[in-house]
Amino acid sequence: MKRYFKYYRLGWLISLIVFNIIAFITQWQMPENSQFDGAFWIGYIFITLAFLGQLGCSYYFFREDNKEKIFLNIPIISISYSALIVALIAGVLCMFIPSFPYWIGVIICLVVLAFYVIAIIKAKATSDIVEEIDAKIKTQTLFIKSLTTDVDSLLLYAKSDEAKEIVKKVYEAVRYSDPMSNEYLLELEQQISESFQKLSIAVKADDIENIKFISDELMILIQKRNHKCKMLK
């Protein structure tokens, strides 16, 4: 996404230049007593700040290459666009309405600025919270996902049809196990890992008797884990 920012930056710069040209040409056409008064500069500064703020939000958005982070940052870029549009409307009212009271312009601009700054902060906080929860879930589901992959791979080493059937049953049991894990399951999950290692050795050696015995042991451990998962919810 970073490479796209240079194209966005070019469009942003053109928009800012066009705004400045229109703003100053329009003011030169105004009566001399109302040219470049306090209200004009309030609106002009406010709109310029909105442009700069939008550029900052866009840089933050485009710098990410992770699709999940890009998705979570969409509200930030959307809010910044809305802020720029509202700022243009409020700023233009201050700049081009003759004898517009500058103190009203200050209040309008400050209220709009505060509203959108708070909205962007909230959007960023929400993004961080969701990202933190997502990372936590990925960590908590890592054990079962990893074990499912390992058991699936073990099928490739099964030499006899009987061994393949036994490994498939283990695979199905692991696949449909509760994916969530926590610290109270660590000891049991360690036992499952050790039992799987024994099963892996037996399958590679095509030792049917041990495959049956260890698979039964592994299935019991998986059932115990699922039962504990239900109890911990």
* Mean pLDDT, contiguous 10-residue spans, the chain (233 residues): 77 91 81 69 89 88 76 85 88 78 81 89 86 74 88 89 91 88 84 92 91 92 88 74
My answer on whether 147 and 95 are in the same domain is no
CB neighbours of 214 closer than 8 A, spacing ≥ 6? 195, 198, 199, 202
CA distance 208 to 169: 15
Q: Kindly state the tokens that stand for 21.
A: 């040209």
My answer on whether 66 and 129 are in the same domain is yes
My answer on whether 159 and 196 are in the same domain is yes
Per-residue pLDDT, 97: 76
My answer on whether 147 and 129 are in the same domain is no
My answer on whether 146 and 132 are in the same domain is no
Check if the beta carbon of residue 19 is closer than 8 Å to that of residue 59: no
My answer on whether 152 and 99 are in the same domain is no
Q: Kindly state the tokens that stand for 168.
A: 């498939």
- Give the residue from 136, 166, 192 where a domain finishes: 136
CA distance 227 to 93: 66
Q: Kindly state the tokens that stand for 58.
A: 């866009």
My answer on whether 77 and 21 are in the same domain is yes
My answer on whether 48 and 89 are in the same domain is yes
CB neighbours of 77 closer than 8 A, spacing ≥ 6? 57, 58, 61
Stated as kind and residue range, the H or E segment containing 221 is helix 208-232
**Total number of domains constituting the chain:** 2
- Give the residue from 136, 153, 171 where a domain finishes: 136
Domain range enclosing 58 = 2-136
Indicate whether this model's pTM tops 0.95.
Answer: no
Per-residue pLDDT, 168: 93
- Give the residue from 82, 101, 136 where a domain finishes: 136
The residue among 189, 88, 92, 200 whose CA lies nearest residue 141 is: 189
My answer on whether 126 and 153 are in the same domain is no
- Angle subtended at Cα 125 by Cα 136 and Cα 128, rounded to the nearest 5 degrees: 25
CA distance 25 to 2: 35
- Angle subtended at Cα 118 by Cα 93 and Cα 76, rounded to the nearest 5 degrees: 90
My answer on whether 82 and 156 are in the same domain is no
